[in-house]
Amino acid sequence: MGSAKRKSSEGEEAAESDGEGKKKRRVLPSVVRNKEKRSQLYSVLKREKRIEKRKKTKAREAAEKKALELGEEPPEKKVPRTIENTREPDETVCRPDDVELFASNDTDEFNKILKQETIPKILITTCRFHSTRGPAFIKELLSVIPNAHYYKRGTYELKKIVEYAKNRDFTSIVVVHTNRREPDALLIINLPDGPTAHFKLSSLVLRKDIKNHGNPTGHKPELVLNHFTTRLGHRVGRMIQSLFPQDPFFRGRRVVTFHNQRDFIFFRHHRYIFETKETKEEDPKAKAAKADKSKSITKGRIFARLQECGPRFTLKLISLQHGTFDTKDGEFEWVHKADMDTSRRRFFL
């Protein structure tokens, strides 16, 4: 009891002293045991911090303004340190001056599709048992990927399906794996001779669950592939690219994005529209009159508006296998192993 009392009195002192001056502000709230006192102390600290921060930004803005007036170079903007830009140096990152990279690009399995010699034709199927979200997801995938055909899985083995698809001139197979009525894995098999990529699929949001979603048109979409930097990433990117036709219909204004960030590949599907600022400002006339100056500046500025039209999901590469699907005799080009995760700043794609 006694000790507890002593402690609390200490906390009190600390709180009081904190209010008085700066030099005694060494007592951390975590030391204080009384909750009330602790939160008091904490709020004081937080307030001071906020004020300091505001001061800093004000000073920075003032310096910027001054520099602008004087016609000097404004002080450099600080770049926040993120996990991406402090990534571990990697020798496998593709460089634009690499002759071997282009030579291997010219000879790899996707070259025929990417050079538009063949048109991609996709077979979509499922695991043996699927229900609820699985079919809904496949329905949306069919609307995303042009020239995709859904085939019921039945009880066929995947190797048989690969053979079947090879004979029917399909260029890829996409298998949606469902677990507990929730799609959780995606297998992409490039035909006729591999590779096979196995992705973990997570955070799936279907179209109807997206607010203000649009409905996609049947045009061939544009494709955006972001940040596939290493050789492995490059290969995966080319594999994804080979699912889509290489001649997008730009007037359809439909974009499919695969954005890689920290080895997670984010899938988004949008419609966009170009609008000029001018047209928008004509409607509220009073406003236009008020902000006449700003109007003259922004006149004719074109900007794009986006509307998401689902689905939305995240992929993570688990393995890339050489050749078509073969779990038993297959050779892997890349497998994620536990001993590779020794740093959070090491990325493979």
Partner 1 sequence: MPRTTMVESPGCPPLRVLTTDVLGLVKVLEVQGKVGTPKVVETWGSPDASRSVIATSFADCQTNPLLVIARKNGLIELLSPLSGETLSASKFSELGLSSFSAEEDPVAGLHLFKTKNAGLSSGINVLLICTEKGKAFLKHIPLKDASPSASTEDSCRNWDISGAGKVVCSAVDSKENYALFGGKGIELNLWNLESCSRIWTAKPPRVNSLGIFSPTFFTAATFLSKEDHRKIAAGTSNFQIRLYDISAQRRPVLSIDFRESPIRVVREGLDGNTVYIGAGIGDLASFDMRTGKLLGCFNGKCCGSIRSIAKHPELPLLASCGLDSYVRIWDSRTRRLLSAVFLKQHLTSVMFDSHFSSGVLSIEKSNSRKSSTKKSKRKHGEEDEIIESYVSPSEDEAMEMKLSLRKSSSKKKKSKTMKAKVDSLKTA
- List contacts with partner 1 (CB under 8 A): 81, 86, 88, 91-92, 98-101, 103-104, 106-107, 231, 322, 328-337, 339-340, 342-343, 345
Distance CA 222, CA 247 (A): 8
DSSP letters spanning 8-50: HHHHHHHHHHHHH-STTTT--GGG---HHHHHHHHHHHHHHHH
CB nearer to partner 1: give 22 or 95.
95
Please tell me the chain's helix, strand, coil percentages from 3-state DSSP, rounded to the nearest 5: 40, 25, 40
Residue 95, token pair as written in the block: 């460089």
Residue 272 carries which DSSP code?
E
CB nearer to partner 1: give 101 or 206.
101
Distance CA 130, CA 182 (A): 8
Min CB(187)–partner 1 separation in Å: 17
CB nearer to partner 1: give 9 or 327.
327
Contacts of 4 (CB under 8 A, 6+ apart): 33
CB nearer to partner 1: give 57 or 92.
92
CB nearer to partner 1: give 107 or 296.
107
Which residue in the block uniquely carries the two structure tokens 């594999």?
Answer: 239
CB nearer to partner 1: give 234 or 254.
234
Distance CA 320, CA 240 (A): 13
Number of Cβ within 10 Å of residue 295's Cβ equals 16
Residue 89, token pair as written in the block: 């140096």
CB nearer to partner 1: give 293 or 337.
337
Min CB(58)–partner 1 separation in Å: 29
Min CB(40)–partner 1 separation in Å: 35
Min CB(335)–partner 1 separation in Å: 6
Min CB(233)–partner 1 separation in Å: 14
Alpha helices in the chain (DSSP H): 2-20, 35-70, 99-107, 111-114, 133-144, 158-167, 231-241, 277-282, 285-290, 292-298
Min CB(238)–partner 1 separation in Å: 15
Distance CA 251, CA 114 (A): 21
CB nearer to partner 1: give 83 or 224.
83
Direct distance between the N- and C-terminal alpha carbons of the chain, in angstroms, rounded to an integer = 58
Min CB(155)–partner 1 separation in Å: 21
Asked whether the beta carbons of 174 and 149 are under 8 A apart, the reply is no
Distance CA 246, CA 347 (A): 28
CB nearer to partner 1: give 282 or 331.
331
Min CB(159)–partner 1 separation in Å: 15
Q: What is the largest CA-CA distance in the chain?
A: 85
Min CB(341)–partner 1 separation in Å: 10
Nearest to 243 by CA among 190, 196, 202: 190
